[in-house]
């Protein structure tokens, strides 16, 4: 296994755990007897944990190194996602939501920094592929979850099986992780304990946040949307997450060569436009098939905009790369995890269709600041990755 493939697996493993968990949110909602707004509050607690992980973990990640951080964050997040369904009440689950969020935020910094450093070593882009592994993990786990729900497998047993899978596979893969060297043009300053975004970083934060809001709405609320609007079978409702995740995974896994050829800004503009079309299709759908097609287009549109923003932030030379990535991650993942809870309140008071309409203005605002991607100070100019023999 190549060194950067082990970094890819960090994304894949966390996606397996988180994807299994969010795919069973309708069951968790019923288990705890929660309204959409109350479920949104629990997700907001997780969001605050993610924010803490992104804000305070940079220095600790640099000290621990990529391998140890992978073990701690991936296994920690997977454990607490698996423990939440076993809680007897939502109140007792609150601290578990927060701790799972902390590990998730710290994992994000570690995975993105190592991916950027491996990009510098390889000479071509791999950031989109790394996030494609996240989406592939979501796709696989969402498909399994749809089958589990249809077969009436309990959420407790389902998440426990996923935890065991991640522990076994992660122990094998993470053992061989080697920390990549910093970029040659990287800022050599000290890494602060807290990372905040600068004014120059804010446009990139908006570009990254818009597709993540659409992604959060699609991943967290799509199964509930399909159930409440169309009263479909659990398997069909679960297909919404599966279709979204499969389309975003396919697009991300194949997008790096496209970005190298056409440059980040035109690709981002096209993708944000596709995402807007997909969200509007979901909001106006009169048939389940139309809604599922809308989730598919939204997946394509959300695919590589966030990885593009991460790469641009990591290559800025005003501060150390981990600080800029953490600062961008704070803002965007706050949207990713806090956005769905807010959309839950919108759904409860104005209807779940309107919650998807609320995403459209954010996508439009991101289109207005895509120029921030054109200012990438250290573009990748290497050759595309050569084909590897099978075996």
- Express each pLDDT in 43-55 by its tens digit: 889 888 988 888 8
Span 114-123, average pLDDT = 88
Q: Is residue 388 part of a domain?
A: no
181 phi/psi in degrees, rounded to 5: -70, 160
Number of domains in the chain: 2
Q: Are 44 and 344 in contact (CB under 8 A)?
A: no
Q: Return mean pLDDT, the chain.
A: 86
Domain end, chosen from 143, 176, 209, is at: 176
Residues 13 and 129 occupy one common structural domain: yes
- The per-residue pLDDT for 189 is 58
Model confidence at 332: pLDDT above 60: yes
Q: Any idea what the CATH number is for the domain that residue 138 is in?
A: 1.20.1250
Asked whether residue 15 falls in the same domain as residue 164, the answer is yes
Q: Which residue has the tokens 């698996």?
A: 82
**Is position 257 within any domain?**
yes
Residue 38 included in any domain: yes
Are 146 and 257 in a shared domain? no
**Which letter does DSSP use for residue 194 in this model?**
S
Say yes or no: 167 and 210 in one domain: no
Q: Do 227 and 368 lie in a common domain? A: yes
Q: Are residues 86 and 208 in the same domain?
A: no
R_g of the chain, CA atoms, integer Å? 19
Residue 389 within a domain = no
**Residue 391, in any domain of the structure:** no
HSE-CB of 96 using CA atoms within 13 angstroms: 17
Domain hosting residue 284, numbered range: 197-374
**What Cα–Cα distance (Å) separates residue 75 from each residue in 13, 101, 171?**
9, 13, 9
- Global model pTM greater than 0.85: no
Is 9 part of any domain? yes
Instruction: State how far the Cα of 296 lies from the Cα of 258, in Å rounded to an integer.
Output: 20
Q: pLDDT tens across 129-183, in order?
A: 999 998 888 878 878 887 898 888 999 999 999 999 999 999 999 999 987 787 6
How far apart are alpha carbons 245 and 242 in whole angstroms? 5
Q: Which residue has the tokens 């069973």?
A: 24
Same domain? 141 vs 223: no
Q: Are residues 224 and 313 in the same domain?
A: yes
Tell whether the torsion through CA atoms of 82, 83, 87 and 93 is positive or negative: negative
Q: By 3-state DSSP, what share of the chain in percent is helix, strand and coil, each rounded to 5?
A: 80, 0, 20
Distance CA 282, CA 297 (A): 10
Whether the CB-CB separation of 69 and 106 falls below 8 Å is answered with: yes
């Amino acid at each position: 296994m190549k060194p950067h493939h082990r970094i890819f697996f960090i994304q894949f493993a966390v996606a397996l755990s988180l994807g299994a968990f969010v795919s069973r949110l309708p069951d968790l909602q019923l288990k705890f007897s929660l309204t959409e707004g109350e479920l949104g509050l629990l997700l907001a607690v997780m969001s605050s944990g993610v924010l803490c992980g992104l804000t305070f973990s940079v220095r600790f990640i640099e000290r621990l190194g990529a391998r140890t951080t992978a073990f701690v964050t991936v296994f920690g997040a997977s454990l607490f996602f698996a423990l939440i369904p076993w809680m007897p009440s939502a109140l007792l689950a609150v601290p578990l939501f927060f701790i799972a969020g902390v590990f998730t935020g710290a994992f994000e910094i570690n995975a993105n920094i190592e991916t950027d450093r491996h990009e510098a070593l390889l000479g071509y882009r791999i950031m989109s592929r790394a996030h494609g592994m996240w989406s592939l993990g979501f796709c696989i786990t969402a498909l399994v979850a749809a089958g589990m729900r249809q077969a009436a497998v309990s959420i407790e047993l389902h998440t426990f099986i996923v935890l065991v899978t991640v522990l076994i596979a992660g122990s094998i893969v993470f053992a061989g992780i080697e920390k990549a060297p910093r970029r040659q043009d990287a800022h050599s300053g000290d890494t602060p304990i807290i990372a905040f975004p600068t004014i120059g970083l804010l446009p990139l934060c908006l570009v990254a946040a818009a597709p993540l809001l659409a992604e959060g709405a699609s991943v967290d609320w799509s199964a509930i949307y399909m159930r409440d609007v169309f009263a479909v079978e659990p398997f069909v409702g679960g297909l919404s997450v599966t279709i979204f995740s499969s389309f975003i995974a396919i697009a991300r896994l194949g997008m790096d060569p496209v970005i190298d050829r056409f440059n980040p800004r035109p690709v981002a503009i096209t993708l944000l436009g596709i995402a807007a079309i997909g969200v509007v299709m979901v909001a106006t759908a009169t048939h389940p098939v139309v809604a599922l097609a809308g989730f598919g287009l939204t997946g394509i549109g959300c695919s590589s905009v966030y990885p593009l923003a991460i790469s641009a932030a990591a290559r800025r030379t005003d501060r150390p790369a981990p600080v800029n990535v953490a600062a961008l991650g704070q803002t965007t993942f706050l949207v990713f995890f806090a956005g769905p809870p807010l959309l839950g309140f919108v759904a409860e008071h104005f209807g779940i269709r309107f919650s998807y309409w609320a995403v459209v203005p954010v996508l439009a605002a991101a289109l207005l600041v895509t120029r921030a991607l054109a200012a990438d100070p250290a573009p990748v100019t290497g050759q595309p990755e050569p084909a590897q023999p099978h075996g």
